[in-house]
Amino acid sequence: MSMSAALSSVTSAKVAVNGVHLHCLRTGGGEHAVLLLPGMLGSGETDFGPQIENLNKKLFTVVAWDPRGYGHSRPPDRDFPVEFFERDAKDAVDLMKMLKFKKVSLLGWSDGGITALIAAARYPSYINKMVIWGANAYVTDQDEEIYQGIRDVSKWSERTRKPLEALYGFDYFARTCEKWVDGIKQFKHLPDGNICRHLLPLVRCPTLIVHGEKDPLVPSFHADFIHKHVKGSRLHLMPEGKHNLHLRFADEFNKLAEDFLQWRCPRGHGTCES
């Protein structure tokens, strides 16, 4: 196998972590380790095709994981205790440690962005940099209404539904989506609808928040709030971006992410306004 073929190949593995077998895809041979964290019901293969294929394989080693109960990290069936984001954050970090990475950057989409924020706050010395999009630190009445609108998967567009139906079969997909809506609504009953707002001041790594201005699922005040409370973070708006901006505008997103991951603070700090 040529060097470039070896770099561009994608391997899959199942790793025993915290009592479950977590599935992940891995590609590239760069020294900068990057973990891709999928959204609700997501998996590496369904959520990150253009990133697995096209992020620079000489600079980065890219790992895309399936959180427990999602993708090929089954059994177990997915459940949503109130600490499910904390559990995912610990699973994700422990997975990368099992894979022997010394430090890792995070690319987190939607629920994966929430997981990334928690991981960065809880394991500051292990997280190098972070790019998140479509995430929220708390749940409002408006959010609850949006979630209610996606509860019934038979009402989803066929394009969004198809890959997940193929991955899970209709029954597990439909049931787990309903469970997710109930799971995320739990936070509405906590003070300030809190998911992870209390953790944002603890994030120390350089952070890029990307927000699609046409995102129908996550109102822009969520990106603004995270930007305000994660010290030194940058906010990049994509005027035409929806929730899946990294798929729809993959080249633009990948360049943004690569540039940020490679960027060095001129003053040598971890975080740095520029």
* Catalytic residue, candidates 32, 211, 222, 243: 243
User: At 236, is the secondary structure helix, strand, or coil?
Assistant: strand
CA distance 222 to 134: 9
Is 110 one of the annotated active-site residues of the chain? yes
Is 222 one of the annotated active-site residues of the chain? no
Is 211 one of the annotated active-site residues of the chain? no
In this structure, which amino acid lies at residue 95? L
* Catalytic residue, candidates 91, 110, 211, 233: 110
* Catalytic residue, candidates 32, 111, 215, 222: 215
b/e map 36-62, b = 16+ CB within 10 Å? bbbbbbbbbbbbbeebbeebbbebbbb
Give CA separation, 3 vs 7, 9, 29, 57, 158, in Å.
Answer: 6, 10, 10, 11, 39
- Beta carbons of 73 and 20 less than 8 angstroms apart: yes
Catalytic residues, by residue number, are: 110, 215, 243
